[in-house]
């Protein structure tokens, strides 16, 4: 069964969600990100997915202290946003993240990924594939490239990457349902461990992704944000199921 990753997006020190990554479409859910993290811990979360939005926009980590505080709660963290140098990757891992998520940097400097894999190992490094209509977006989703998701996925596979996070930007934060076709396409095309992101709004969406995972074993996890904050999905309902 899929592992559910509650999402904590950090901006200005607060826990927020953006609609399709748009800064002007921000909702603040908690002033203190530790509050939802404790809720997810109590509900049985196995991981938390943290995005440093300020880091994504500026190009360097902006919430190292908050990451350390979150890590101290004892739940494994995967952290992305602004990791565009080897030093930045080291910073979040040393702060307590179990896994660092590279995004923009992979498109602009593939050698950084290779160095990070060699230094920290493939279990500590993941790559975020954030896409609009199958083409990768960068720099906090502000720019869309000509590189396709599948092209990059094959290159990552050859480099020794094990885990990718595939976000369908068009559905992110909408609660309108995940893009099952795009997730299935990526899962079937590679041997990568895939974490799906974008659009999950109802228990039925999780069930659909879980069914897809039985057909495509590479699909191993799903990130859920707004649906948890607005109560349309209860984490405890999912973590209490066998293997969830």
Q: Please indicate whether residue 109 is annotated as part of the active site.
A: no
The residue range of the domain holding 176 is: 3-239
Q: How many domains does the chain have?
A: 1
Average pLDDT, the chain: 91
Secondary structure tally for the chain: helices H, strands E: 11, 12
Q: Which residue in 54, 130, 205, 210 is the catalytic one?
A: 130
pLDDT, one tens digit per residue, over 77-99 is 999 998 999 999 999 999 999 99
Domain-located, residue 226: yes
Q: What CATH number has the domain bearing residue 206?
A: 3.20.20.70
- C-alpha–C-alpha distance, residues 108 and 70, integer Å: 29
pLDDT, one tens digit per residue, over 189-241 is 999 999 999 999 999 999 999 999 999 999 999 999 999 999 999 999 988 65
**pLDDT at residue 161, as a whole number:** 97
Q: Which residue in 9, 52, 168, 205 is the catalytic one?
A: 9
Domain-located, residue 55: yes
Q: Half-sphere exposure (CA, 13 Å, Cβ side) for 147?
A: 19
pLDDT, one tens digit per residue, over 134-192 is 889 876 566 788 899 999 999 999 999 999 999 988 877 778 899 999 999 999 999 99
Q: Please indicate whether residue 172 is annotated as part of the active site.
A: no
């Amino acid at each position: 069964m899929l592992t559910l990753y509650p999402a904590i997006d950090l901006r200005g020190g607060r826990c927020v969600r953006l609609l399709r990554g748009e800064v002007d479409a921000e909702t603040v859910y908690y002033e203190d990100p530790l509050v939802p993290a404790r809720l997810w811990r109590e509900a049985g979360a196995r991981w938390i997915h943290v995005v440093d939005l300020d880091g994504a926009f500026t190009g360097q980590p902006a919430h190292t202290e908050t990451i350390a505080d979150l890590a101290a709660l004892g739940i494994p963290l995967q952290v992305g946003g602004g990791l565009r140098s080897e030093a930045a990757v080291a910073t979040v891992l040393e702060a307590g993240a179990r896994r660092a998520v590279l995004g923009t940097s992979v498109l602009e400097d593939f050698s950084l990924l290779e160095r990070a894999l060699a230094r920290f190992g493939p279990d500590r490094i993941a790559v975020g594939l954030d896409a609009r209509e199958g083409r990768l977006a960068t720099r906090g989703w502000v720019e869309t490239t000509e590189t396709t998701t599948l092209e990059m996925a094959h290159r990552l596979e050859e480099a020794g990457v094990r885990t990718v996070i595939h976000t369908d930007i068009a559905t992110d934060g909408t609660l309108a349902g995940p893009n099952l076709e795009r997730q299935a396409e990526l899962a079937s095309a590679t041997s990568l461990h895939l974490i799906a992101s974008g659009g999950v709004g109802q228990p039925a969406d999780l069930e659909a992704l879980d069914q897809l995972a039985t057909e495509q074993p590479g699909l191993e996890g799903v990130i859920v944000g707004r649906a948890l904050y607005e109560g349309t999905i209860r984490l405890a309902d999912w973590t209490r199921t066998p293997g969830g």
